[in-house]
Amino acid sequence: MCKSLRIAIADDEPEVLEYFSGVLRSLGHQVVIQASNGRELLDACRTDRPQLLITDIGMDKIPGIEAMRALSANVPMPTILISALSEGDESLSESDAQVLAFLSKPVKLATFTGAVKVAVDHILQ
Amino acid sequence: MDPSSTEREFGRILEESLNEIFIFDAVTLQFLQVNRGGRENLGMTIQELRELTPVDIKPHMTRESFEALIQPLRNGSQETLVFDTLHRRKNGSDYEVEVHLQLASFHDLPAFVATILDTTKRNQVANDLRVRNRAIESVGVGVVISDASQHDMPIIYCNHAFERITGYGTQEVIGRNCRFLQQDDRDQEARHTIRETLHSGEECRVLLRNYRKDGQLFWNDLLISPVKNSAGVVTHYVGLCNDLTQRIRAEVEKSDRETRLQAILNTAVEAIITIDEWGVCESLNPAAETMFGYSVKEVIGQNISMLMPSPYREEHDQYLQNYLRTGEKKIIGIGREVVGRRKSGEEFPMELSVSEVRLKETRLFTGMVRDVTELKHAQQQLIQAERLTALGEATARLAHESRNSLQRIQIAVETARLHCDEHQLLVDQLNSIENASDRLHALHEEVRNYAAPLNLEFEETTLAKVWRSAWSATQHLRQGRQVHLIEQIPTDQIYCRVDRFRFEQVFRNLFENALVACSDPVEIAISVTETHTPLGDKWRLSIQDNGVGLDEQQRRRVFEPFFTTKAKGTGLGMAIAQRIVEAHGGTISVGSGFLGSGQRNGAEFIIEISR
Ligand SMILES: Cc1cc2nc3c(=O)[nH]c(=O)nc-3n(C[C@H](O)[C@H](O)[C@H](O)COP(=O)(O)O)c2cc1C
């Protein structure tokens, strides 16, 4: 399937992680990495770099946003950020151009699938 | 005439002479003869005197000094000797004498003849004059004497004080008429008074503007009195000058001070009340009248306890007497919070500080009173505000934390939806859960919005655009209802620099409230006027509905956070609106709700914002 992406997803809420992974799979994508904090995410990505990253902005150990920046140090890592803070967008800087969407919790299914669709188009164009 | 009778005759003349004549032996110096004048003045008989010598009646002389004195007569180098000395009477008193001494012969024996003048009187006059002169010189009052017999009454004398007051030296004033002190300032009523009195030869007292040598003005309190000779003709005038400048200045200053003090008392925000030792009110300032609601007349002469509620009212006299007796202070010099009572009977918290003023005979107590009702109120509000801040922070955190829970609800709902196979009952239930969750989310957002700092993005826009956009956003609330927005505006060009998004929220809150409060047909009127204030030009917006309006409590508390009359809602809408308007440098307040005709309409809110 040409529109299938290898996706890494990170969230410290296991239910959320499972649910969004399920949604992604049902959309035909491969969830190659499931991480519950930034450190796990970085470790996993070292061996298997995904095409798209979907991560919670916060999380303990390394926060998602920092993991994203680390992964984008050389080559930009297309990312969808999810936040439980609505003013989280203020923590984004100009250089965070790889952020394709910023979703704030609670995220509705339609919003989520919409954002993923935009990302797919962007990455596979 | 026979020589002895001539001699006798001559002796009789000597005896009767008013001068005192002493004859004493040239060798022994013992008195041989003393005439009546001498005997009487000394108070001694001739027998007593014959035992004495001149040295015995001269308290300042010794035999040696006297011998030395008369030596020139003895050796014939001098014929007469005149000297001043003192004579001592038998009773011990002294008198001043001028002694004329010659060597002669008495009954063919060498003897001294002394003629004595009692100079006490003569010296006294000179002495008196000297004393008086010195007195005149040393008094603080300026003394000037002019000669009335000469043309234009020239000054013939002035004392030291006159020199000091006028700045002129004696030599500069002698020979001139005193009017030179007026310099060019001749238009003075007092001048005519002086001329009249000088004419009639009487005394007068006037106040003149005079000028010192250095040109400085001084107020001269002048007393002019005539000096008449024995024939009753005025020969001199004496002027007494008093420089009143200091006193006049001091008086002006004093009245200045009093005026200022009065002004302070009159304008003081503190009530200031004085009472006497018996607690009787002696004075109170306007602030006290306002604070207690009594007029001055009603309080003065009354016991101060009338301004206190029970039980202080009953205890006060006792307390005061106790203080006067024992000096035990409960309030004086300390200040504390007590309770006052207004004429209306209302009791209020007040801060009272009392100071004691001791006068010669009695003492006064001055009480300064501050009505702290407002302060207390403000304090309570502050406490409330602090509590709200804490609450706001907690709520914001709560809102944040709930997002994850809301997310889980969302996920659960959507997952369940996938599995309910269009089962209508389940679909409805799931929709209902999702709606409730959305509503909860919205509420949390509003609270968080209120608690979060406002960062405004200003842009130039017209307010009409902003409220019309807000109006559109209330579309869903107006569906199926009869609602009119009535704009009464001078122009569409109501330009203003605002954060459009935030200001729209203000209008939206107002519209939403109106739509909830009013029943159909609803009319919401927006009118805009320009106002000019010392702080600049403003737009004044009135947003008024035709509902039941606000009651007293609502008018007072409508901007308080969490105050709400709606069944739904956080009670933050108006608080947020106020916060936004104030962040724009504007104000929002509750209007009277009266239409032009005086007819009562619904709720009215007034927004004022700089143009
Ligand atoms: C004794 C005496 C003292 C006077 N002292 C003053 C004086 O100190 N200052 C002054 O302005 N005039 C003084 N006058 C008044 C003036 O000399 C003068 O009489 C007055 O100005 C009225 O006269 P005129 O209108 O001709 O000036 C004094 C007058 C007299 C007789």
Atom 29 of ligand 1: nearest residue by CA position: B178
Beta pairing class for A79-83 and A52-56: parallel
A71, with CB counted inside 10 A (0-12, 13-18, 19+), is buried
Question: Is A74 a residue whose pLDDT tops 90?
Answer: no
Q: Does B406 touch chain A (CB under 8 A)?
A: yes
Q: Which CATH class is domain B459-610?
A: alpha beta
> Does the beta carbon of B239 sit less than 6 angstroms from any atom of ligand 1?
yes
* Interchain pair A16, B404: CB under 8 A: yes
pLDDT at position A57 is: 85
Q: DSSP state, B332? A: B
Chain A residue whose CA is closest to B401: A84
User: What residues in A contact B400, CB-CB < 8 Å?
Assistant: 84-85
pTM over 0.90: no
State how far residue B563 is from chain A, nearest Cα, in angstroms. 26
Chain A residue whose CA is closest to B417: A109
Give rounded-to-5 percent helix, strand, coil for chain B.
45, 30, 30
Neighbour tally for A97: CB within 10 Å: 11
The domain B3-120: what is its CATH number? 3.30.450.20
Tell me the two tokens of residue B548.
């039941």
User: Under a CB-based contact definition with an 8 Å cutoff, are residues B526 and B569 in contact?
Assistant: no
pLDDT at position B567 is: 55
- Cα B194 to ligand 1 centroid, rounded to whole Å: 7
Question: What residues contact B604, with CB distance under 8 A and at least 6 apart?
Answer: B542, B543, B544, B545, B590, B591, B592, B593, B594
User: What residues in B contact A85, CB-CB < 8 Å?
Assistant: 400
- Cα B195 to ligand 1 centroid, rounded to whole Å: 8
Q: Does A111 touch chain B (CB under 8 A)?
A: no
Mutate: best of B411, B449, B457, partner A, most A CBs <10 A? B411
Q: Which of residues 76-135 of B touch A (CB under 8 A)?
A: none
What is the C-alpha to C-alpha distance for residues B223 and B205, in angstroms, rounded to an integer? Answer: 4
A1 occurs within a structural domain: no
B15: three-class secondary structure by DSSP? helix
Mean pLDDT of chain A: 86
CATH 3.20.20.70 at B139-248, yes or no: no
Question: What residues contact B532, with CB distance under 8 A and at least 6 apart?
Answer: B538
- Cα B168 to ligand 1 centroid, rounded to whole Å: 16
Convert the pLDDT of each residue in A29-47 to its tens digit: 999 999 999 999 999 988 8
Question: Is A110 a residue whose pLDDT tops 70?
Answer: yes
Kindly indicate the confidence band of residue A52, based on its pLDDT and cuts at 50, 70 and 90. Answer: very high
Q: Where are the domains of chain B?
A: 3-120, 139-248, 268-364, 376-451, 459-610
Q: Residue B577 is inside which H or E element, if any? A: helix B573-583
| φ, ψ of residue A21 in degrees (nearest 5) | -60, -45
Chain B residue whose CA is closest to A88: B400
CB pairs under 8 A between A and B: 38
Tell me the two tokens of residue B31.
């008195």
A12 occurs within a structural domain: yes
Buried b / exposed e along B213-236 (16+ C-beta atoms within 10 A)? eeeeebbbbbebebeeeeeeeeeb
- Cα B197 to ligand 1 centroid, rounded to whole Å: 11
Q: Residue B400 is inside which H or E element, if any? A: helix B373-419
Q: Does B443 touch chain A (CB under 8 A)?
A: no
Tell me the fold of B268-364. Answer: Beta-Lactamase (3.30.450)
- Stretches where chain B sits below pLDDT 50 are 596-598
Atom 12 of ligand 1: nearest residue by CA position: B179
What is the C-alpha to C-alpha distance for residues B378 and B370, in angstroms, rounded to an integer? Answer: 15
Q: Does A84 touch chain B (CB under 8 A)?
A: yes
State how far residue A19 is from chain B, nearest Cα, in angstroms. 7
**Angle CA(A63)–CA(A65)–CA(A66) in degrees, nearest 5?**
70
Q: Does A106 touch chain B (CB under 8 A)?
A: yes
pLDDT at position B361 is: 72
User: What residues in B contact A104, CB-CB < 8 Å?
Assistant: 403
The CATH number linked to A87 is: 3.40.50.2300
User: What residues in A contact B399, CB-CB < 8 Å?
Assistant: none
A98 occurs within a structural domain: yes
E strand residue ranges, B334-421: 336-341, 347-358, 363-371
Q: For chain A, what is the domain count?
A: 1
User: What residues in B contact A105, CB-CB < 8 Å?
Assistant: 403-404, 406-407
Buried b / exposed e along A28-62 (16+ C-beta atoms within 10 A)? ebebbbbbbbbebbbebbeeeebbbbbbbbbbeeb
Q: Does A27 touch chain B (CB under 8 A)?
A: no
Atom of ligand 1 nearest to the CA of B181: 11
pLDDT at position A1 is: 44
Convert the pLDDT of each residue in B296-324 to its tens digit: 999 999 999 999 998 888 888 888 888 88
What is the C-alpha to C-alpha distance for residues B554 and B291, in angstroms, rounded to an integer? Answer: 27
Choose the closest CB to B403 out of A19, A105, A109. Answer: A105
> Does the beta carbon of B182 sit less than 6 angstroms from any atom of ligand 1?
yes
State how far residue B399 is from chain A, nearest Cα, in angstroms. 9
Angle between helices B500-517 and B463-473 (to 10 degrees): 50
> Does the beta carbon of B123 sit less than 6 angstroms from any atom of ligand 1?
no
Question: What residues contact A65, with CB distance under 8 A and at least 6 apart?
Answer: A55, A57, A81, A91, A92
- Asked if the domains B3-120 and B139-248 are classified in one and the same CATH topology, the answer is yes
Number of helices and strands in chain A (H, E):
4, 5
Instruction: Quote ipTM for the complex.
Output: 0.79
Question: What residues contact B521, with CB distance under 8 A and at least 6 apart?
Answer: B482, B483, B484
User: What residues in B contact A16, CB-CB < 8 Å?
Assistant: 404, 407-408, 411
Tell me the two tokens of residue B590.
């509750």
Q: Which domain holds residue A36?
A: 6-123
User: What single-letter amino acid sits at B35?
Assistant: N
Tell me the two tokens of residue B549.
């309006």
Instruction: State the average pLDDT over residues A104-109.
Output: 87
User: What residues in A contact B445, CB-CB < 8 Å?
Assistant: 86
A103 occurs within a structural domain: yes
